[in-house]
């Protein structure tokens, strides 16, 4: 993506929202979705548009788990660590994913394809253990099913 194109996209997202501080979080979420992280430029632009000090933009950008200051992978794998998933073996599924991708939980694969995260309950407890890749849900996961899931996701 060229720098100019980058700026255009940023401007486009910025103008989706009226000039009111309450849209700061929504804007940063859109930026995260588009660029897979919140670049400094986006924080500066939002500080000006939403009329909030840079310090507050920074505190919002670092408070919420959905936002990240460093680039995440193109797809985020969320492994549910809710109580039901914990009881039905989610820790072993996470281990299998870490091993298959050679990346620790919280990290991003070398090719930038996947980030792996542990999350607290995706609300699909009847399907425990659950893994979500972007907004696709994989239920009744086992360590053995991990490879198949990753292959399907690579093909997308």
In the complex, the smallest distance separating the C-beta of residue 4 from other proteins, rounded to whole angstroms, is: 29
Give the shortest CB-78-to-other proteins separation in angstroms.
Answer: 8
- The answer to whether the beta carbons of residues 113 and 73 sit under 8 Å apart is yes
Longest dimension (CA), the chain: 51
7 versus 140: smaller Cβ distance to other proteins: 140
Q: Which two tokens stand for residue 78?
A: 């969320």
Cα 4 from chain centre:
25
Alpha helix segments (H runs only) across 68-143: 83-87, 90-101
Q: Which is nearer to other proteins, 36 or 78 (CB)?
A: 78
> Which residues of the chain form contacts with other proteins (CB under 8 A)?
20-26, 29, 50, 52, 56, 59-60, 63-67, 78, 81-84, 86-88, 119-128, 130, 132, 135-139
> Which CB atom, from 57 or from 103, has the smaller least distance to other proteins?
57
CB of 85 to other proteins, least distance (A): 8
**What single-letter DSSP state applies at residue 120?**
S
């Amino acid at each position: 993506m060229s720098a100019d194109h980058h700026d255009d996209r940023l401007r486009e997202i910025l103008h989706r929202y009226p000039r009111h501080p309450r849209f700061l979080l929504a804007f940063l979420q859109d930026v995260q979705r588009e660029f897979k992280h919140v670049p400094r430029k986006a924080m500066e632009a939002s500080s000006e548009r939403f009329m909030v000090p840079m310090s507050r933009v920074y505190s919002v950008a670092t408070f919420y788990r959905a936002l990240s200051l460093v680039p995440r992978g193109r797809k985020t794998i969320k492994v549910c660590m809710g109580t039901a998933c914990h009881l039905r073996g989610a820790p072993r599924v996470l281990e299998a994913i870490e091993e298959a991708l050679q990346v620790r939980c919280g990290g991003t694969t070398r090719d930038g394809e996947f980030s792996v995260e542990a999350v607290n309950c995706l609300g699909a407890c009847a399907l425990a253990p659950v893994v979500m890749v972007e907004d696709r849900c994989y239920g009744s996961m086992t360590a053995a099913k991990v490879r198949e899931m990753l292959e399907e996701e690579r093909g997308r």
